[in-house]
Structures are given as C-alpha cells and as structure tokens.
Amino acid sequence: MNKCLFVLLLMLAFVTIGFAQATQAQTNARAEAYYHFSKARILDEQGQASQAIDEYKKALELDPNNSMIYSEMAESYLKNNRFRDAVETAEKAIRASPDNIEAHKLLSSIYVQLIGRANAQQPPSADTINSAIHEFEEILRIDPSEQQAFLMLGRLYQIKGDRSKATEIYQQLLGVEPGSEEGVVALAKLQLDAGNKEEAAGMLEKFIKQRPDSDAALELLGQAYSDLQQYEKAADAYKRASELDPDDLELKKSQAQAWFLADKFDEAGKLYQELAAAEPDDGLASLRLGQIYRRQMKYDLARQNLEKAAKAFPDSVEVQFNFVLLDRDEGLLENALKRTNDLLKKTEKPSARYSEGEKQNRQLFMTHQAIFNGLLGNYTEAIRELTELKALTKDGRFDLMIIETHRTGRNLDKALQHSEQVLAETPDNRQLQMIHADLIAEKGRVDEGIRALQRMSKGNNKEDLDVLSAMTNIYQRAKKYGDAQNVLNTAIQRFPEEEQVYFLQGALYEKQNKV
C-alpha cells in the first residue's frame, strides 16, 4: 500500500464534520499527523518504544490538541515504566479533552500501580491516593455504569481509612448493579474489617438466598462465621463453596479448620486425611491430624502424624509443643517436662526482648513446666516457676496455683501464709476467700473456716451455692457427716434445680457407704 492510500484510509477513520470543512492545508497536516500516529502504534506493537515515541511526538507537532494521540503516547510510556512521562502525557490528554475516559483510566492505572508498589516502610503518599480517587471519580462521572471503577474507588477509600465513604461507594454500586456479587462481597468485607460481623453475615446470607451459586459470597460467609466463633456454620458455608469449586484446596482447608475449631473431630479428620493425600508434603494437615488423634486418645496415630509435621516444620515450636501435650496425655510426664525445658531454651533470647507472641508462648511453656514439676513432686521448682510467672504477668491466677502447689506438697502453713498475703492485696477476691477458709478448716480449725464461709453468704444469691458446697466439703472431709447433710439440705431447698447439689448428695452417701 503506497503512502498516499495509507494516509487516505487514516483520514477516513478519524475525520469529523469540522475536519471535513477545514482548509486543504489543515487537511494535509491532519493527514500527516495520523500517518505518524499509526506508524507509532505499529512500532509500539513491535516493541520499538523509542521509535514509537518519536513518531507520537511528530504527530503532536502537526496536531497538538489531539487527546487520543496523547493517550496512546502515555500508554507507551507506561509500558516502558516511564511513570512520570506517562502521567504528564495523560494529563495533557485530559486537558485536551476532559471527557477522554481512556486517558482517565490510564492515569488511574498508573496511580494504582504506584500504590501497589508501596510497602510498610514506604507507604503510598496521600497525594497519590487522592489523585487515584480523583481519576476514578472522573471515570464514574463520564460513565456511571463502570462497575470496576466503583470497586476500585471503594478500595481506595478503605486504604485512605475512610470506611464511611467506602461504604457509600459500594452502596452506590449496588444501586446501579443490585445483583453485583463483587459489590456485595466488597461491602460485606468492609463490614467485617470494621468489626460488624453480624451485619456482614446477615448481608451475605440474604445475598446467597438469591445467588446460591456465589462461591465468593459463601467463602466470605465462612470467614464471617469463623470470626463470630460459630464454627459449625462456618464449616457449612465453606462446604457449600467447595461443592461449587471442588478443585480449590484452600476452601477444603478452611472447612477442615472450622470443623476442628468446632471440636467436630471426625468431620475434620476425614477432610485432613483427604488434604494430606492431595498434598503429602503439607505439614499442617499432619499437625491437625496429630492433634485430632490425641484428643481421640489414638496416641500412636497422633505421634505418627506429629512426626510427619515435624519433618515439614523442623523449627516449629507449635509442633514441638504438641509433642509436649501428647507426652502429658500419655502420662509420660518426665518426657513432657524435658521437651518443655528444651522449648524454653530454644526460644530464649539473650536480649530478653520478645514480641508479644513470643512472650505468650514462653509464658505458656513456663506454666506447663511448673505444672509438670508439681505433678512430679518437684514442688520447690514449681513454686519458683509460678512465682516468676506472677512477677512477669501480674496475673492473680498464678497465686492460686502457688497456694494449690503448697497444698499438694502438704505444706499447709505456706499455703495459708501465701493466701493471707494475697488477700491483704486483693481482699475482695471471692475465690481466694473461699480457698483461705478451706485451708483454715484443713488445718483443723473447722468451725473458724465455716464461719468465714458463712460471712460470705449473700442471702438468696446463686453464688451462695458455691459457699454451701464448700461448707459441705469441709464437714465431709472432717467426717462431720451430720453437719454436712444439714448444709446440703439447705442447698437442696434453696437450689432444687441445680445438678451440683445432687452430685454432692451422692458423694456424701458414698463417703458414708450408703450407696
């Protein structure tokens, strides 16, 4: 095709009524511009970016107000990662024609790419976010039906931290496209992120009734119910999503995790077996199977799966701690204690600077270390460890454990002394008051212990049931069965619907060989 014919075809493609009435000189200039423009596009497609840019510039010299040429030139700059040139050129395209939607889309994509390249160390600037928002708002001004523009605009307002505006945008989208799956999912996710879990779940349930084939909505519903700790409902949602997309292993993993958290170990175990078969190197499935078999008291199977998990995650403290729990449940307390000591050594830092998660892990390990020492009769070690934990956490539960450890070690004087010391610090601690009264009685001062408990009575308050139960136990331990029965009769009269009183009655009969 010769140059004249090529130019003539381009003129026909781009001509306007005004252009048709232009002078011959203008016609020739415009034709020459479109020749360079088309040549630039061909060079662009061939990957000759530099030559293409030169042709775009020649076209603009002949037709300096042509928005389309600026748009194509900006896109060429963008392809070659010349962001600043792309932005400046796209802005010129918009100045030439404010309603050039392609130029707005190009400019918006540049800002989105810049935001996507940001990280925690270098977050996106407020100017970049606001510029992106402006471009998407312009796109919607020109074409209010642009669904993707609504979605991106909503996400940008989320990034900006303006949840209210993001909600408004998503609601506008649903006004334009009432059945929009992406709109409903985006709005529900926004509610979840804001902590409005019930609202998110309700919105998704309503949508799924209309669109039961929406796997994205079902998956998010599973997340919403998981956040609400309604794990059986979460598992059902993930199951329905998985039925729509059977090849998506992530959905099966989410379903298995929900069953596991719901303590539905048979259902969870079956799924984790399928996942382990599908991905033999997936250590998480082996870990969960190890935990499930331990809870089902299938200790050999539990150990086999934990060993597989340990191969997949050789440095995992979670896997090692599950070995601790398995040893504990099998009664291998010395092994459990050794593993716990090893974990504490492994996680120790010379600087003693720990993240919050690391602190919690170490406190968990130390607590079990103290429990195992107590169970093995190493009471001095257990007391030392519990005292250290109390100092670290300021948690009063460790005081109760210290008292019980002294008591288990038959050191009632120290147990009583520690309870008095803690009561002086927290005199209104009802649980501690009851333990202190019980210790007094165990020391042989039964009447004094009973009087201390009687002073805790609140009339008809249900908390009195615990007081009466403690009094029954004191009399029973002192073999004052008549007094124990009198207290128990009062408890039965006042709390006839409570199972606890009948359990105590059965225990009292058993002590007197009346069963």
pLDDT in tens, 228-254: 999 999 999 999 999 999 999 999 999
Model confidence over 83-92: pLDDT tens digits?
Answer: 888 888 888 8
* 91 vs 147: CA distance, rounded Å: 23
Q: What is the mean pLDDT of residues 323-340?
A: 98
**Which pLDDT score, from 0 to 100, does residue 341 have?**
97
Residue 39 pLDDT > 90, yes or no? no
Q: Are 400 and 384 in contact (CB under 8 A)?
A: no
Tens digits of residue pLDDT in 260-278: 999 999 999 999 999 999 9
Q: What is the mean pLDDT of residues 338-358?
A: 94
Element at 202 (helix H, strand E) = helix 197-210
In this predicted model, which residue has the larger pLDDT, 73 or 296?
296
Annotation: CATH topology of 315-395:
1.25.40
DSSP letter, residue 122: S
Greatest mean pLDDT range, 66-70, 110-114, 212-216: 212-216
Q: How far apart are CA 242 and CA 238, in angstroms?
A: 6
Residue with tokens 């040893």: 327
Average pLDDT of the segment spanning 45-74: 82
pLDDT over 90 (residue 461): no
Beta-carbon-side half-sphere exposure of residue 215 (alpha carbons within 13 Å): 12
pLDDT tens by residue, 132-152: 999 999 999 999 999 899 899
Write out the two tokens for 491: 């408890």
Instruction: Give percent of the chain with pLDDT exceeding 70.
Output: 94
pLDDT at residue number 515? 58
With b meaning 16 or more CB within 10 Å and e meaning fewer, what string describes 183-213? bbbbbbbbbbeeebbeebbebbbebbeeeee
Q: What is the pLDDT of residue 27?
A: 62
Between residues 65 and 196, which one has the greater pLDDT?
196
In this predicted structure, the answer to whether residue 51 has a pLDDT above a threshold of 60 is yes
Task: Give the count of alpha carbons within 13 A of 506, CB side only.
Answer: 5
The average confidence (pLDDT) of the chain is: 89
User: Among the CATH numbers 3.40.50.300, 3.40.50.410, 3.30.70.270, 1.25.40.10, which is that of 428-514?
Assistant: 1.25.40.10
Note the pLDDT tens digit of each residue in 153-191. Answer: 999 999 898 999 999 999 999 998 888 999 999 999 999
**Token pair for 43:** 């060079």
Show me where the domains of the chain are located: 315-395, 428-514
Res. 115 pLDDT band, cuts 50 70 90: confident
Which has the higher per-residue pLDDT, 35 or 326?
A: 326
The pLDDT > 90 percentage for the chain reads: 64
Instruction: Examine domains 315-395 and 428-514 and report if their fold is the same.
Output: yes
Q: Report the pLDDT value the prediction gives residue 8, as an integer from 0 to 100.
A: 40
Q: How far apart are CA 179 and CA 507, in angstroms?
A: 63
pLDDT score of 26? 57
